[in-house]
Chains A and B, each alone.
Chain A
Amino acid sequence: MDEAFVPRRFVVAEFRTTSALLEGTRKMREKGHTRIDTHTPYPVHGLEEALGITRVWVPKIVFCAGLAGIVAAYSMMVFMNAIDFPINVANRPAHSAPAFIPITFEMMVLFGGIAAFVGLMALIRLPEPYFPTFEWANFEKASIDGFFLSIELAKDADAADVSNDVRIVGASDVQVIVEPER
């Protein structure tokens, strides 16, 4: 693969308050901009609607994993204790459903919990130590006390146009970021 390096370009804008960010995000979407994202130090109520996020995947993944945990645990115990090597202890049934409940439950939690974490990481593609928005020193505030909007530019998009748009909707500080070649 000898592909030419095509830098990702972003317009990143800072907003003073969460409500300004919410409004700005909504308006930018109304203007037809896609590939919008926000960067805030904590989850802001209403941002999902503003970004147009309608579905999340984590709950579905966790549900399936939990179900898999139940099936795996119960079938494991039945196979090991009732089919492969039944041991008769005081003539109790080899396949004993009540005694299998605790481990079935624990495995449901274990599978579901691990899926919640690993699934999340896969969905949001972390770890990703480098992201072009980090190029702007001011962007540090995104994890402390700043509210940012970022728009990834299409190949032929004009950065100045998008910057203008984002200024009109209320951004206080705007920066165009071009991913440097490394």
Chain B
Amino acid sequence: MAGNATASAHDPIETRPLIEGTHTDRTINDSLLNHVWRGAGKGWWLCFTVALGMLGLLVITIGYVLVKGIGVWGNNIPVGWAFDIINFVWWIGIGHAGTLISAILLLFQQKWRTSINRFAEAMTLFAVMCALLFPLIHTGRPWLAAYWLLPYPSVQGIWPQFKSPLVWDVFAVSTYFTISLLFWYLGLIPDLAAMRDSAKSKVKRVVYGMFAMGWRGSGRHWAEYKWAYLLLAGLSTPLVLSVHSVVSFDFATSLLPGWHTTIFPPYFVAGAIFSGFAMVLTWMIPARHFLGLKHVVTMRHIENMCKVMLATGMMVSFGYLMEHFVAWYSGDPYEFSVFFKVRQTGPFAGVYWLMMFCNILVPQVLWWKSARNNLVLIWFVALLVNVGMWCERFVIIVTSLHRDFTPASWGSYAPTWVDICLFTGTIGFFSTAMLLFLKFIPAVALTEVKELRHEIEEAH
């Protein structure tokens, strides 16, 4: 270990470098911008066409919902909430990894965040947009949604009910989106300046220059900038924890068996980060290969992400365990029935067991170092975790609603084609946005990588 002269030699436990190879600021600049400057390849166009097709599906389906009304969805009493809120919670959760990586790991001074934060933050933004779509459409007339959601002085003199978690949600999610956007853009400004200055064509110079707003790397600017960035990270950290807690309150404050539980906030947050890291890995593993980013997104980054996924997966498993324990320990027959009968053997038992398989069993493979170095395996694990976390929301929402207290009010649920097309469509929107991001904006925060390289060099 002693003779290890890699980039991370100051940290005796870590042996793998954060930046592979020998670089200067110039080579980092050029290698990280290369994927933006070179023209789009066939692979990109192929992915983009598919994504755009799915986005088209989304637009058409939204149009159909607006014309026909939300009655075309499968949810109806007793299952009054279904795909809309499942997808909302799923997408919001995916966004959480971005904020965790960019803000929480920054505060903990985890240097490995540097190569993946920009990518994960972009993912956060697009995931939150997908999530916001569902509550917006479910109002039926989204162009009037502002009147129902935001406090404004109406002629009726009535105000939102601030004791309702659904109103908390409006504030939490819109704040989350705003802050994520500001944080992302603030971090991007020096990179945009670098793009302005290394662009070859006049048009690119002007366009990137506009977004860079005349940034000139001034020492006086950096002094204030560093504080603004740090404070945004400091604000985002409790924010990200609050957002999914508030989302979980939508359920936890009700009396429905399966929802009425105090473990929801921490267990939702852990699940959010779990699914978010899975989504980062799902995209990062192919992206680092095709964009030529292997020297900055190294196996050490991948391995660390796997460890976070394993840890949060264990937290989620613990959440499941406690949920079942409390249902038994409470002695409440309704709770007991939901947790020990309906979920395992009811009409949606398949989804329940798939969730257990994907969220508890599958991540266990990451205990092995060899598994954490097998990219194909990790990719499939991440994909299954995404599936598992979607199933979790389905289990929580649908199985709890379709069997409540009185057998007379029991019912069932099946999604319609509209539900399925809307969900597929948001995946299309997300993919389109990610592909455009990877084409026009450097996927790795080059200023921060240069700074990291400088720090590592100084440390020697």
Contact = CB atoms under 8 A, between A and B. Distances in A.
Interface of A: 18, 25, 37-44, 47-48, 50-51, 53, 56-59, 62, 66, 76-77, 80-81, 84-85, 87, 89, 92, 96, 99-100, 102-103, 105-107, 109-110, 112-114, 116-117, 119-121, 123-124, 126-131, 133-134, 139-145, 148
Given A103-B171, A145-B26, A110 B178 contact: yes
Interface in B155-175: 157-163, 165, 167-168, 171-172, 175
A106 B190 CA distance: 28
Nearest to A140: B197
A64 B193 CA distance: 30
A51 B242 contact: no
Contacts, number: 198
14 contacts: A41-B447, A42-B454, A43-B226, A53-B220, A53-B223, A56-B227, A62-B228, A87-B161, A96-B163, A113-B175, A113-B178, A119-B228, A139-B216, A148-B217
A155 B198 CA distance: 34
B219 A48 contact: yes
Contacts of B421: none
Contacts of B232: 113, 116-117
B128 to A, nearest CB: 14
A38 B231 CA distance: 23
A58 B227 contact: yes
Contacts of A113: 175, 178-179, 182-183, 232, 235-236
Contact of A116 (B197, B210, B235, B451): B235
A126 B219 contact: no
A155 B168 CA distance: 57
Contact of A42 (B175, B210, B238, B448): B448
Given A81-B161, A117-B182, 19 more contacts: A18-B454, A39-B216, A41-B194, A42-B451, A51-B223, A59-B231, A62-B228, A81-B162, A84-B159, A89-B161, A102-B242, A107-B175, A116-B235, A121-B213, A126-B214, A129-B210, A131-B214, A139-B216, A145-B26
B218 A39 contact: yes
Interface of A is mostly: helix
A53 B222 CA distance: 11
B388 interface: no
B25 interface: yes
Nearest to A62: B231
Q: Which of B186, B194, B216, B242 has the most CB of A within 10 A?
A: B216
B216 A134 contact: yes
Interface magnitude class on chain B = 35 or more
A23 to B, nearest CB: 14
A39 B214 CA distance: 12
Contacts of B235: 62, 66, 109, 112-113, 116
A76 B160 CA distance: 11
Contact of A59 (B29, B215, B227): B227
Given A105-B242, A126-B215, A131-B216, A41 B231 contact: no
B118 interface: no
Nearest to A113: B179
Contact of A85 (B157, B175, B190, B198): B157
Given A84-B159, A110-B179, A129-B214, A116 B219 contact: no
Interface string B434-451: 000000000000011011
Nearest to B210: A129
A89 B447 contact: no
A92 B175 contact: no
Contacts of B217: 38-42, 142-143, 148
B93 interface: no
A43 B225 contact: yes
Given A129-B213, A131-B214, A39 B238 contact: no
Contacts of B186: 116-117, 120
B224 interface: yes
Contacts of B428: none
A26 to B, nearest CB: 12
Nearest to A120: B228
Contacts of A81: 159, 161-163
B68 interface: no
